[in-house]
Amino acid sequence: MKAVAVRKGETNPTIVEKPRPDPDAGEALVRTLRVGVDGTDHEVLSGAHGGFPDGEDHLVLGHEAVGVVADPNGTDLTEGEVVVPTVRRAPDGGNEYFERGEPDMAPEGEYHERGIVGAHGFMAEYFTSPAESLVSIPPELADLGFLVEPVSITEKALEHAYAARSAFDWQPESAMVLGNGSLGLLTLAMFEHTEGFDRTYCLGRRDRPDPTIDIIEDLGATYVDSRRTPVDEVADAHEGMDLVYEATGYAKHAYQTIDALAPNGVGALLGVPESWEFEIDGGKLHNEFVLHNKALVGSVNSHVGHFESAVETLAALPDPFLDDLVTGVYGLDDLDRAFDDDDTTIKTAVELAAYEKR
Ligand code: NAP
Ligand code: BGC
Ligand code: ZN
């Protein structure tokens, strides 16, 4: 079968031939339909994030997948069921986080992430997965099922952010997304359509005309240009935000978020930056945290429960937004376009097989 991989020493995706995998006991064989591409895939390609499976000279890419069960292999799944796989798998021997169903809380070194670190991904004609790591989705969502994983990332981050504000009567009205990439825009759509904030903002660093700014404004949010309004000046320009969701991976934003928050606000940090040393006024930030009851939470990955919520959320997002977000779905013969990183590309996916309803 064909798979899309990055070879050691290279930074571009390549099509490789691999044997079709055989499911072990408890695993199903899945025929892959589509696999989304996000900023993490670009970080994996550049070598900034992730790592190869032990003893392998390549990594099959892809962690945002949707497929159809080809062989349930004695599991509770049904042939033809449309499924989305979770990303983390237990390293040899397993551990308590996986046993508890909370692999997303496992510390580094205690998990593999398919297509990212230590395990091949889903960008292949077939993949196998333990049945408990496959989440069933309605067939109507098959075409957009590759968005379930990124939506699940925000389901988790919001759960943790709201939990950090659960000890008092928190009534958030305003929310700001930092970053107009695919994760940022999906999250902004959730703020508008499923989270119900009164005032929403999205920060980028682009000039008009730009398709992401059009999406932001079509959603009813305000575009904020970080070149004119740095994150630590947002509160002066627009009032402090009850919630800030960082999806830029720009390390200064983690600290500037503290200043962008309203009293009692919470910031969720999602970005995965490389090392960068810079000066901050630690005393001022410490004081700001304490005297205004602010919170910051970091959040990575997501578990089955977040995927299940994400399926409902995705179904509630408006079609015009999703049409604008997904700028291209490409076959293997047009692979390079799926990995384009220009300003007209927002969310892409690679199609391995078309969905045929039974
Ligand atoms: P992406 O497509 O690269 O989006 C990042 C966006 O942030 C880009 O649109 C970029 O703008 C914008 N940006 C970067 N620096 C900025 C600045 N200084 N001011 C304003 N805008 C800025 O990536 P993504 O897929 O949306 O993911 C976003 C981040 O979340 C990445 O760091 C990714 O690794 C991380 N992530 C984390 C998780 C998790 O589980 N924690 C899950 C998924 C993704 P331009 O395009 O104009 O440069
Ligand atoms: C993936 C997560 C993963 C994270 C860190 C994200 O792009 O969606 O599942 O945990 O990268 O590797
Ligand atoms: Zn991702």
Contact status, residue 241 vs residue 201, Cβ threshold 8 Å:
yes
C-beta separation of 303 from 102 below 8 A = yes
Cα-to-chain-centroid distance, residue 175: 19
Asked whether residue 129 falls in the same domain as residue 23, the answer is yes
Do 28 and 122 share a domain, yes or no? yes
Specify the pTM.
Answer: 0.99
Mean pLDDT of 343-349: 98
Task: Give the domain extent around 249.
Answer: 152-298
Write out residues with Cβ below 6 Å of ligand 2.
38, 40, 63, 87, 113, 116, 149, 153, 272, 300-301
Q: Note whether 192 and 294 are same-domain residues.
A: yes
Domain shared by 13 and 132, yes or no:
yes
The pLDDT tens digits for 268-287 are 999 999 999 999 999 999 99
CA of 168 to the centre of ligand 3 (A): 32
* 197-216 residue pLDDT tens: 999 999 999 999 999 999 99
Counting the structural domains of the chain, the total is 2
2 — pLDDT class (breaks 50, 70, 90): very high
Claim to verify: residue 41 and residue 122 sit in the same structural domain: yes
Give residues whose Cβ lies within 5 Å of ion ligand 3: 38, 40
Do residues 166 and 288 share a domain?
A: yes
* Same domain (yes/no): 26, 91: yes
Same domain (yes/no): 156, 113: no
Mark whether 279 and 341 lie in a shared domain. Answer: no
Return the percentage of the chain with pLDDT > 70, whole number. 100
User: Is the pLDDT assigned to residue 357 strictly greater than 90?
Assistant: no
Domain holding 65: CATH number?
A: 3.90.180.10
Instruction: Using alpha carbons, select from 23, 32, 118, 43 the residue that is nearest to residue 332.
Output: 32
Choice from 110, 155, 187, 301 to test ligand 2 binding pocket (greatest atom count within 8 A of CB): 301
> For 31-47, what is the mean pLDDT?
98
Q: Which numbered ligand comes closest to the C-alpha of 88?
A: 2
Query: Rounded to an integer, what distance in angstroms lies between the CA atom of residue 237 and that of residue 263?
Result: 16
Strands 347-351 and 295-298: unpaired
Q: Does residue 7 sit in the same domain as residue 129?
A: yes
